Amino acid sequence: MCGIVGYVGKAPVVETVLEALRRLEYRGYDSAGIAVLNGRGIEVRKRVGKIEALVESIRRQPIRDGHIAVCHSRWATHGEPTEANAHPHTDCKQTLAVVHNGIVENYAELKSQLLAKGHRFRSQTDTEVIAHLVEEYAKREPLDCAFRHALKELRGSYAVCLLSKHEPHRLFGAKNSSPLIVGVGKREAFFASDVPAILGRTRRVVYLNDHEVVELSASGPRLTTLDGKRLHRKATTVAWDVAAARKEGYPHFMLKEIHEQPATIEQTLFNRLDAGKRRLTFDRRTKQFLDRLSPNEKFIVIACGTAYHAGLVGEYMLEECTRIPVDVDLASEFRYRGAQLGRDTTVIAITQSGETADTLASIQMAKAHGAKTLAICNVMGSSIARAVDAMLYTHAGPEIAVASTKAYTSQITALALLTLYLAKRRACLPPAQWRRLFDGLAKLPEAVQRALETERAVKAVAGEYARARNFYYLGRRYNYPSALEGALKLKEICPVIHAEGYAAGEMKHGPISLIRKGWPVMFVAPHSSVYEKVISNIEEVRARKGACIVIASEGDPAIKRHADSLITIPRTEEFFSPVVAAIPLQLFAYYVADANGCDIDQPPNLAKSVTVE
Ligand code: AGP
């Protein structure tokens, strides 16, 4: 959560950092602030609300420019979203400014020590202690040592950048369990929470590890350990281009990302699926990892939110096609359930950002217990990507909208690749069935492209139900996770609506009691092995006068008489139906939210990357 930007260079700093910060707004948006070192010392401006409020304030009353600055967009953890609690936070004399993402768990203890030493606090945040701690140590030692010293005192997570009045050409930064990268440009350099911030200025990135400290000047970063030992690391060039971080004519990032899915799925398959030779492959490290799995291997998939739903789809895929036993756990629960892990267990993390705190902590725990680890992740160089034994990147490009869309379908695609690779190696499927699934995977981008053609019909249906305030989403087997995901999408971006996803067979065990005339129920009912069962569930709802919106396969004439509203998607193997069904579910959520005037890309209380537990 929270977006951090730091800049040193010759460009006008206010405009440069605000532009970068705008690209991180998806990380948190309850307040924003900037600190610029200029002829007047450190000038700080903060505003409650979105970055635009800060920009507007600077437009009305400009800040004198400089060449070094830090700025921040906040997702509140400690202290309400007020101006006083917005970052940057300064020391007593305003000679230092700090921006921070994470939680300083021992801040209360540190604060009382600092108060006893005469420090004056202005906010209720945990972050402010960092500024005062550095101030305290800097009374006796140079700033770089004082910064390291202060970091050693912190418990919890941090990505932090420090600006000092006495250091006009250097910023300081460090991370522990919260993301921070360095962008290296031409005679300019950045700190940022994520790559999209710096796209357009540079694609050369230095990824930082926990407990590393950076002194950043316009000529680049100087890395050391917390003890001051010099480290050397080359910048890597990221493949993402700046267009990926812009709306490119779409009204919202979410809609753009929904439309990108044929291409992003293609990217997930690229270099892994050889359609001509009907062959699957992975990079050397991942292939070796998979080839060495034990015949008794057990998988535990851990993830949060949408990624967890992708994991549930993976459970059906892997168990059906590879016979490997699979558990799927919410990362926030897995950590505390005392799972039995051992050498024959692979813990698979699914995560778009690669930074989700609970997922990262689960991976660390799994490693500590001797399990093997694999991640399906979108962000190169992210904390989880670096923590695991093997990686399966989704290559979906930056996902900016808070609501995950293209990352979800790419995660399922990656799980399909994994499943079919292992199914072949273990000879678990009849060859004809394997070939059918392989061919289906190769054609998945095409099926998704066709599913996008439902947009107009979905928009019309969304218009009919936009005034409803409660929805159920139901599905079975592979599309039980689709129901969970469809409901999550709607309530996430349309916070005036309550939506709940259930396994369709569970309805009569409780939730059906709420059904009354006109209550909308979205059924995910494509052609599948459980089709008839789902039809029975539809009839149970209709018998109680609920309104059934049905997502069904093309070429299913019988479905019409069971549906109040019908959306048809291309017919695929059941195995792929969650990917194809995701498209109208995402579009439905989008158009209902749009009709309700919701803030689609930045829904209240949410942040894209949940880096606190
Ligand atoms: C999905 O729309 C949400 N924004 C959220 O549930 C998300 O999937 C979850 O926080 C996990 O994030 P990750 O994939 O980056 O780990």
**Candidate list 50, 256, 298, 608, residue with the active-site label:** 608
Q: What is the pLDDT of residues 160-204, one digit of tens each?
A: 999 999 999 999 999 998 889 999 999 999 999 989 899 889 999
CB 503 within 8 A of CB 477: no
Domains of the chain (ranges; CATH) run: 3-241 (3.60.20.10), 253-442 (3.40.50.10490), 452-595 (3.40.50.10490)
Q: Find the 27 Cα to ligand 1 centroid distance in Å.
A: 12
Tell whether ligand 1 has an atom less than 6 A from the beta carbon of residue 362: no
Q: Which regions in the chain score pLDDT beneath 70?
A: 1, 28
Look at residues 23, 30, 374, 405 and name the one whose alpha carbon lies nearest to residue 194: 23
CB 590 within 8 A of CB 493: yes
User: Could you tell me if the CB of 402 is within 6 A of ligand 1?
Assistant: yes
Please name the residue whose Cα sits nearest to atom 8 of ligand 1. Answer: 306
Residues 584-603: tens digit of each pLDDT: 999 999 999 999 999 998 88
Q: What is the pLDDT of residues 514-531, one digit of tens each?
A: 999 999 999 999 999 999
| pLDDT for the residue numbered 594 | 97
DSSP string, 96-154: EEEEEEEEETTHHHHHHHHHHTT-----S-STHHHHHHHHHHHTTS-HHHHHHHHHHH-
In whole angstroms, what is the distance from residue 258 CA to residue 383 CA?
Answer: 26
Q: Which of 301, 313, 358, 404 to mutate to test the pocket of ligand 1 (most atoms within 8 A of CB)?
A: 404
Q: Pairing mode, if any, of strands 89-90 and 156-164? A: unpaired
Instruction: Ligand 1, residue 404: give the atom nearest the CA.
Output: 2
489 CA closest ligand 1 atom index = 2
Residue 304 annotated to the active site: no
Please give the distance, rounded to the nearest whole angstrom, from the Cα atom of residue 2 to the centre of ligand 1.
15
Residue 450 CA to ligand 1 center (angstroms) comes to 26
Q: What pTM does this model have? A: 0.84
What pLDDT is stored for residue 1 in this prediction? 67
- Scan for tokens 């439902």, then name that residue: 454
pLDDT of res. 260: 95
- Say if ligand 1 is within 6 A of residue 358 CB: no
Alpha carbon of 598 to ligand 1 centroid (Å): 19
